Amino acid sequence: MQLSMPLMYSGNPREAADQVSALEAAGLDMVWVAEVYGFDSPTLMGYLAAKTERVLIGSGILNIYSRTPSAILQTAAGLDNVSGGRAVLGLGASGPQVIEGFHGVPYDKPLGRTREIVDLVRRGLRRETLVHDGIFTLPLPAGQGTGLGKPLKLLSKPERPSIPIWIAALGQKNVEATAEYADGWLPIFYWPEKASSVWGDALARGGAKRAKRPDGLSPLEISAGGMLAIGEGPETKALLDFARPHAALYVGGMGARGKNFYNDLFCQYGYEKEAKEIQDLYLGGNKRDAAAKVPQEWLEACNLVGPASYVQERIEAFRESGVTNLQVAPVADDPAALVAQVKEMVA
246 exposure class (CB count in 10 Å sphere: 0-12, 13-18, 19+): middle
How confident is the model over 258-302, as pLDDT tens digits? 889 999 999 999 999 999 999 999 999 999 999 999 999 999 999
Instruction: Give yes or no: residues 262 and 123 share one domain.
Output: no
Average pLDDT of span 163-188:
98
Nearest-angstrom CA–CA distance, 175 and 120 = 20
The CA-atom distances, in angstroms, between 3 and each of 191, 199, 216, 323, 324 are 18, 23, 25, 11, 9
What is the pLDDT at residue 132?
A: 77
Query: How many other C-beta atoms lie within 10 A of the C-beta of residue 228?
Result: 26
Q: Looking at the structure, do residues 178 and 240 belong to the same domain, yes or no? A: no
Q: Are residues 65 and 160 in the same domain?
A: yes
Question: Do 218 and 249 share a domain, yes or no?
Answer: no
Number of domains into which the chain is organized: 2
* Domain match, 49 and 8 both: yes
46-to-42, 81, 104, 160, 215 alpha-carbon distances in Å: 6, 10, 26, 17, 30
Question: What is the rounded average pLDDT of the residues 147-174?
Answer: 93
Q: Are residues 119 and 246 in the same domain?
A: no
The 10 Å CB-count burial string (b at 16+, else e) for 103-137 is eeeebeebeebbbbbbebbbbbbeeeebebeeeee
Q: Which pLDDT score is estimated for 238?
A: 95
Say how far apart CA 279 and CA 321 lie, in whole Å. Answer: 29
Inter-CA distances, 65 with 72, 100, 107, Å: 10, 10, 8
pLDDT at residue 139 is higher than 60: no
The predicted structure's pLDDT at residue 138: 57
Q: Is the pLDDT of residue 224 over 90?
A: yes
One domain for residues 59 and 112 = yes
Question: How many other C-beta atoms lie within 10 A of the C-beta of residue 16?
Answer: 18
Provide mean pLDDT across the span 51-80: 97
Looking at the fold, whether 92 and 24 belong to one and the same domain comes out as: yes
Average pLDDT, the chain: 94
- Judge whether 275 and 263 are in contact, CB under 8 Å: yes
User: Looking at residue 141, what is its pLDDT?
Assistant: 63
Q: What is the mean pLDDT of residues 312-340?
A: 97
Domain CATH for 332:
3.20.20.30
Decide if pLDDT at 130 tops 60: yes
290-324 residues labelled b (16+ CB within 10 A) or e (exposed): bbebbbeebbbbbbbbbeeebbbebbebbeebbbb
Question: Residue 269: which domain range?
Answer: 232-302
Residues 242 and 331 in one domain: no
DSSP state of 320: H
> What pTM did the predictor assign?
0.95
What letter would DSSP give residue 250? I
Where does the pLDDT of residue 208 fall: very low under 50, low under 70, confident under 90, or very high at 90 and above?
A: very high
Residue 315 sits in the same domain as residue 258: no
- 206 and 290 share one domain: no
